[in-house]
Amino acid sequence: MAEGILYGIGFAVSLCLALVLTPFVIKLAYKIGAIDKPNHRKVHTRIMPRLGGLGIFGAFVLAYFVIKPFIPDGMLRHYDTNIINALLAGGSIIVVIGMLDDRFELSAKVKLLGQIVAACVVVLGFGVKIDLLNIPFGESMQPIAAWISIPLTILWIVGVTNAINLIDGLDGLAAGVSGIAIGTILIMAAIMGFAPVILLCALLLGGVVGFLVYNFHPAKIFMGDTGSLFLGFALATLSMLGFKQVTMVSFVTPLLIIGVPLSDTFFAIVRRWVNKKPIFAPDKGHLHHCLRELGFSHRRTVLIIYAIASFFGICAIIQSTIVQSAAANWITFVVILILVFVLQIGAELIGIVDKSRRPLINFLQRLIMRTEQSRTK
């Protein structure tokens, strides 16, 4: 009970700090020239301050140090404190990279290098890494060698960090989707009783909600790379940490938590490969672009994607509650097949890869036609 009150206070403190800090960040962004000018790829039509992620990060860090003296003895072990320090240290590096990019527009290579450095700090500096892996239809979690776990963890952190960055295209989109994912991890960590992840998620969620007051359409500030990179980094770390205490968990669960940004990133890679364009070349084919082209308003598009992200989150929570059942692997397999089918149908309907190619829909139409013809004979 006392711990629950502490989490609630931490959330409230972080939310209030974000509400107070963000207006100052807006002024700072204009003062130092960290602004976003409209162009043919962007939805906004006026100059907007970015750097908003600094408000989220500032609220998150300050809230932690505000409630730290009130954390009961024994609530956090050495390993738990190590996890918190890893996120704070790595997150600080990511925020610095994001701030520099929001002001000076760094090259993709420099940003990638900074992300790798931050990931290495978490993995090599604090020893936080994926060291257990659940093989589908296996009997238990299997330990993996360091030469596999270290690069795998770095790849996971860098990949998720960039996935959040790619969906940051509409007011409140990346912040809201990240908030839903953080809330999902919080619920799952609460079920597992994993105190450090509950605490970190509560603080981070408070900062995101407070920032959304200024970022939801019509936005007064963008989170910029400072925010999208930090939230992606935090999600990558938390989604990995949330399952270290579980004896049997499916590999698909963390993928479901961040299903929207990961699937959008996957389709972006496929789209650019099909159209013979560089993988890192920006375009207007992301999920939010496609929904806008279908005629949905700015706000409705964001709310639709929120609903999709919530669906993924619910699937992740359900998946985490059945992992210890005898039929868990088969249920996981069926869930994956259904989600892949739905994602492919949805991608073809909105044209997220190629508006002229609908292989699965065409196949289903031919199948239905043949079925009807066979019945009429």
Does the pLDDT value for residue 245 go beyond 60?
no
Query: Which tops the pLDDT comparison, 22 or 334?
Result: 22
Q: What tens digit of pLDDT does each residue of 176-197 get?
A: 999 999 999 999 888 888 888 8
Q: What tens digit of pLDDT does each residue of 312-368 get?
A: 888 888 777 765 554 556 666 677 778 778 878 887 887 777 777 788 888 888 888
If we measure between CA atoms, which residue out of 128, 114, 205, 117 comes closest to residue 165? 114
Element (H, E) at 36: strand 35-36
In Å, what is the CA distance from 280 to each residue of 120, 153, 271, 304? Answer: 23, 22, 11, 26
Domains held by the chain: number = 1
Question: In which residue are the tokens 């259904």 written?
Answer: 338
Domain that holds residue 27: 2-376
| Whole-number pLDDT of residue 142 | 59
Which amino acid, residue 201? C
Tell whether residue 165 is among the known ligand binding residues: yes
Does the pLDDT value for residue 246 go beyond 50?
no
Alpha helices, H only, the chain: 2-32, 53-67, 78-104, 108-120, 126, 146-166, 173-192, 195-215, 224-241, 252-257, 259-274, 287-293, 298-322, 328-350, 359-376
Do 94 and 118 form a contact (C-beta atoms < 8 A)?
A: yes
In Å, what is the CA distance from 127 to each residue of 39, 102, 170? Answer: 43, 30, 36
User: What distance in Å separates the CA atoms of residue 77 and residue 68, rounded to the nearest whole number?
Assistant: 14
Instruction: Tell me how many degrees the CA angle 272-104-43 measures, rounded to the nearest 5.
Output: 50
| Whole-number pLDDT of residue 43 | 58
pTM to 2 decimal places = 0.86
